[in-house]
């Protein structure tokens, strides 16, 4: 490395200004020769005093925080593509670990996360609704096509959604019958009408033992399978024969919102 003159401060500055490039080249060459040794010393010092060095780093950062942020912004702008590529590569290599950590943190802080989301939504509700409306307007055709394909592929889910909507409009006190439960009711009845015994595989209708118009619930214990004619004939009257609804089921009910 170049030797600096042992003189006063002004002479040192003048010498450094005259030999700046040579000085930097000499320092880079020295560092390249001693990089491994220097890195080992730094790691050893950090392992010996981790908290002290972290505190020094924090103080140094906060002392020049505006300058540090400006440097980081400039670096992100100049190397945006490289940074994004590195992030994608790192995520692909550690995807399982990242997902496991996210699930664990969500489970540990579920209530705190929900509270933060509710608070954020309350603060930015107008902006979120406006953004959602703009997104739906741009992608309305795509959403309609996606919904049409899904309903075509899952007719039982679409039909169950329509029935729950009808129950909601009638003010049903309980509205948790799911498509899987309705399929289980039909299988227990062997796809036959409960009243007349006619086999109607795929054509059974949901008959509410206590009609929705009279305060009945759209739930497992108030629904049986009936053919269209028997269901229409019964209407809002009591069942023509004694009814034993399905009380136990393996299929889950609709989750209720807290």
249 burial (CB, 10 Å; 0-12 / 13-18 / 19+) is middle
Q: What is the mean pLDDT of the chain?
A: 85
Indicate the pLDDT class of residue 168, thresholds 50, 70 and 90.
Answer: confident
Model confidence pLDDT, tens digit, residues 24-40: 888 888 888 888 888 88
Q: Using the structure block, give the residue that is written with the tokens 């009711």.
A: 185
Supply the pTM of this predicted model: 0.44
- Provide the β-strand partners of residue 199: 192
pLDDT tens profile 86-143: 999 999 999 999 999 999 988 899 899 899 999 999 999 999 999 888 888 888 888 8
- Cα 14 from Cα 3, distance rounded (Å): 14
The answer on pLDDT for 256 being more than 70 is no
Rounded to a whole number of angstroms, the CA Rg of the chain reads 35
Give the DSSP letter string of 140-165: HHHHHHHHHHHHHH-HHHHHHHHHHH
What was the pLDDT predicted at 253?
Answer: 65
Taken in order of first residue, the domains within the chain and their CATH numbers are 98-138 (no CATH), 155-234 (1.10.30)
Task: Judge whether residue 169 has pLDDT over 60.
Answer: yes
- The tokens for 238 are 């009591």
Summarised one tens digit per residue, pLDDT across range 216-254 is: 888 888 899 999 999 999 888 888 888 887 776 766 666
Q: What is the pLDDT of residue 258?
A: 47
Q: How far, rounded to the nearest angstrom, does the alpha carbon of residue 100 sit from its chain's CA centroid?
A: 14
Per-residue pLDDT band at 170 (split at 50, 70, 90) = confident
Structural contact between residues 156 and 179, judged by C-beta atoms closer than 8 angstroms: yes
Sign of CA dihedral 58, 61, 65, 71: negative
């Amino acid at each position: 490395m170049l030797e600096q003159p042992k003189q006063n401060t002004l002479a040192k500055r003048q010498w450094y200004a005259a030999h700046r490039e040579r000085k930097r080249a000499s320092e880079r060459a020295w560092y390249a020769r001693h990089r491994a040794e220097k890195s080992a010393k730094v790691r050893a010092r950090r392992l010996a005093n981790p908290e002290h060095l972290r505190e020094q780093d924090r103080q140094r950062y906060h002392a020049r925080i505006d300058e540090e942020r400006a440097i980081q912004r400039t670096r992100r702008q100049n190397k945006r593509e490289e940074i994004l590529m590195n992030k994608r590569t790192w995520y692909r290599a550690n995807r399982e670990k990242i997902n496991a950590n996210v699930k664990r943190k969500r489970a540990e802080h579920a209530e705190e996360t929900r509270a933060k989301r509710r608070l954020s939504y309350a603060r930015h509700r107008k902006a979120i609704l406006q953004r959602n409306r703009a997104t739906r307007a741009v992608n309305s055709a795509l959403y309609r096509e996606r919904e049409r394909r899904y309903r075509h592929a899952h007719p039982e889910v679409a039909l169950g959604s329509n029935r729950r909507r009808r129950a909601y409009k009638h003010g049903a006190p309980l509205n948790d019958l799911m498509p899987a439960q309705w399929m289980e009711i039909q299988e227990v009845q062997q796809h036959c009408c409960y009243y007349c015994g006619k086999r109607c595989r795929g054509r059974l209708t949901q008959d509410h033992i206590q009609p929705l118009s009279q305060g009945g619930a759209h739930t497992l214990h108030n629904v049986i399978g009936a053919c269209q004619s028997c269901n229409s004939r019964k209407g809002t009257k009591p069942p023509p024969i004694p009814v034993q609804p399905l009380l136990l089921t393996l299929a889950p009910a609709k989750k209720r919102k807290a």
